[in-house]
Structure 1
């Protein structure tokens, strides 16, 4: 079914759910899985007088390494092949934002599926420019599976509600 799956991870609950889904698909289809973390330093950090943007960059790289290590451990536990990747946005090229980084990584991997959450942690930039997931979906060159935090929470809530109703009826 799938041979190469890319899963965008960013530390959010939604991306964790997306990774869980990608891991399951990779396990079931024998696909290679690549968790991808993109370091994105907001431009406003560079504009702050007397501020060293390397502090923010180092913090993001540390978070990326932590998430990548956890993803790799889960992959090894489940017998899924692949390796995490950490890349950075390019402030020099205006078109190399998070969505473009994911696009290039998917092309490098020759991904036949990209799995990502619909709402990650991108703060003010998401409000101003639109969501990363939406931008990526518009330019994707392979199938994309979007995992919604709202749907996942609704499914969980509905399952609890059904279980409670079944208890009452017995």
Structure 2
């Protein structure tokens, strides 16, 4: 059974589904949960003369703090323990997937839970897929929660209602 579960979170509905699943798994297994938000400032922007990324980075850190605050509140409602984390990509080419990998390794995660938008074709080629890149490099079990999974549970029902399994 899983003892350390990392869940990648952002402010998307898909991420909310992944957090729902991670909360239930952690509660059922008695595992510790680590919500992880990754701040990514694209490396190409660093190459622009006179570019000041301070405002963009600060906005992303603020967004991350809000997302993590929500995840912690939901963890408390579910009676779960764990330490949330905000990580940042760096100029050395560590993308979001590699940041998640590094965080999972440092947390000694048995399982990583993340949402996937399920994009196909040209949209996937253009936008890429963090979930797919992570799945290719993962060193532990990975649970992908599709964008079309059940609606996230809200309010007091969070700690008691089951999550519907994706079909």
Q: Tell me the residue number matched to 1:4.
A: 4
1:133 aligns with 2:131: yes
Counterparts of 1:72 and 1:35, CA distance in 2: 8
Shift of 1:119: 2.6
Counterparts of 2:90 and 2:84, CA distance in 1: 20
The 3-state SS of whatever aligns with 1:34 is: strand
Q: Tell me the residue number matched to 1:100.
A: 98
Q: Tell me the residue number matched to 1:150.
A: 148
Structure 1 unpaired stretches of 5+? 121-125, 154-170
Aligned positions, number: 146
Shift of 1:50: 3.7
Q: Tell me the residue number matched to 1:115.
A: 113
Counterparts of 1:151 and 1:20, CA distance in 2: 10
Q: Tell me the residue number matched to 1:28.
A: 28
Counterparts of 2:86 and 2:117, CA distance in 1: 19
Q: TM-score, normalised on structure 1?
A: 0.80
Q: Tell me the residue number matched to 1:52.
A: 52
**Greater CA radius of gyration, 1 or 2?**
1
Q: TM-score, normalised on structure 2?
A: 0.81
Counterparts of 1:151 and 1:28, CA distance in 2: 19
Structure 2 unpaired stretches of 5+? 119-123, 152-167
